[in-house]
Amino acid sequence: MKKIINNPENYVKEMLEGIYIAHPDLVTYTADDVHCLIAAKKVEGKVGIATGGGSGHLPLFLGYVGEGMLDACSVGDVFQSPSAEQMHAVTKAIDSGAGVLYIYGNYNGDIFNFDMAAEMADFEDDIKVLSVVAGDDVASAGPSAPGEKSTRRGVAGIFFVYKCAGSAAANMMSLDEVKRVAEKASANVRTMGVALTPCIVPRVGKPGFSIADNEMEIGMGIHGETGIRHGKLESADQITDEMLEKIISDVPYTAGDEVDVLINGLGATTLDEQYIVTRRVSKNLADKGIKVHHFYVGEYATSLEMAGMSISMLKLDDELKALMEKPANTPFFKQI
């Protein structure tokens, strides 16, 4: 393991301390617990939006708390869910009577704890809480049957769900309406990733799996979950085309559709490479008659020092497009 850290036991705590030092105008914490991060400014009467999840994915999840997006994030240890009590603490802090919406990725540990936190908020404080569980990773499972719970993992595409729901809440829409928007965004976003190297959890000190020097794993999850295809490393254009094929066939798309695209680095892949992929995505989509409304390129959801990247696409309609265009100001995402 080669990381610029102090005692691995303090990895998350010290990262959080740095966040509060760097962004005092945007975020603070509640309940005397640095893991209970909330927006510095509370907007009265607005639906509160809380997320949460394990550390190791910055800017996810806490990086989108601020103005125009999320109001709170409970922060767990690396790749571990925060506790229900921490989620409950931020829920109390951000509720201003309009209720709270939880938006988080589809992982059992997170689901159990968010459900428990919602019950605590209802049972102890009479706060109305609704939840939207995001599962955008097309590689993790097939589409779920109508009415059936999705088994797809949540990955970088949750950024779009945060943005649409955050804008809806900033427009002072009701809890039910913000939830409807979040569900709609979630239903229209798909992500596909590729990993080139493993990542190392600081307290473990060594990789949990390996990928040979000249190989890649298409569809690997952001905690190293097994992907759909392991093979020789290919060119940027070939990899991009394969990933887009999986995304596009899943929705499906037709010529004339409009999308927002997120090209996301997993931690150790350069921006140069991400822009090389961006170039190919643009050509591939143009050939299919799919119009790109906006490209977002950079690190939005990482997996420690994993090399690799993901492509997420949000299929737009007029409502989602308008919500995506609204301004936001958070530690890791600023849009004028």
Partner 1 sequence: MDKSYIQKLLKCIKDIMAENRDYLIELDSVVGDGDLGLTMSDGFAAAYTAAETFEDSDIGKLLYTSGKAMSTAVPSTMGTLMASGLMNAGKVLKGKTQISDAEVAQIFSAYMDGVINRGKAKVGDKTFLDGINPAVEALNASVEQGEPLAAGAKKAAAAAETGYKNTNTLLAIHGRAATRGEASRTLLDPGAAVAMLIMKAFENSIE
Q: Which is nearer to partner 1, 112 or 209 (CB)?
A: 112
CB of 31 or CB of 297, closer to partner 1 = 31
Question: Measured between alpha carbons, how far is 235 from 231 in angstroms, rounded to an integer?
Answer: 12
Closer to partner 1 by Cβ: residue 86 or 330: 86
Q: Which two tokens stand for residue 220?
A: 């690997």
In the beta sheet, which residues pair with residue 296?
262
Smaller CB separation from partner 1, 113 or 150 = 113
* 171 binds partner 1 per the rule CB under 8 A: no
Q: How far is the CB of 97 from partner 1 (least distance, A)?
A: 25
H/E stretch holding 105: strand 100-105
Q: What is the DSSP letter of 62?
A: G
Q: Is 123 in the site for partner 1 (CB under 8 A)?
A: yes
Residues 88-117 that bind partner 1 (CB under 8 A): 108-109, 112-113, 115-116
Which residues neighbour 90 within 8 Å (Cβ) at sequence distance 6 or greater?
Answer: 30, 31, 36, 37, 38, 50, 52, 72, 73, 74
What residue spans of 224-314 are helical by DSSP H?
A: 236-250, 271-288
The least CB distance from residue 23 to partner 1, in Å, is 25
> Minimum distance between the CB of residue 314 and partner 1, rounded to whole angstroms?
29
If you search the block for the tokens 């540990």, which residue do you land on? 109
Closest distance between partner 1 and the C-beta of residue 88, in Å?
A: 9
- Asked, as a colleague might, if the bond just before 295 is cis with ω within 30 of 0, I would say no
User: In the complex, what is the shortest distance from the CB of residue 106 to partner 1, in angstroms, rounded to a whole number?
Assistant: 13
Residues 137-156, mask of contacts with partner 1 (x by CB under 8 A): ------------x-------
Q: DSSP state, 90?
A: H
Q: Are strands 27-29 and 36-39 parallel, antiparallel or unpaired?
A: antiparallel
Angstrom distances, CA of residue 288 to CA of 49, 252, 257, 258: 36, 12, 10, 11
Would you name the residues annotated as active-site residues?
57, 223
Q: Is residue 30 a contact point for partner 1 (CB under 8 A)?
A: no
Nearer to partner 1, 208 or 327 (CB): 208
Stretch 71-90 residues interacting with partner 1 (CB under 8 A): 76, 80-86
Residues at the interface with partner 1 (CB under 8 A)? 76, 80-86, 108-109, 112-113, 115-116, 119-120, 123, 149
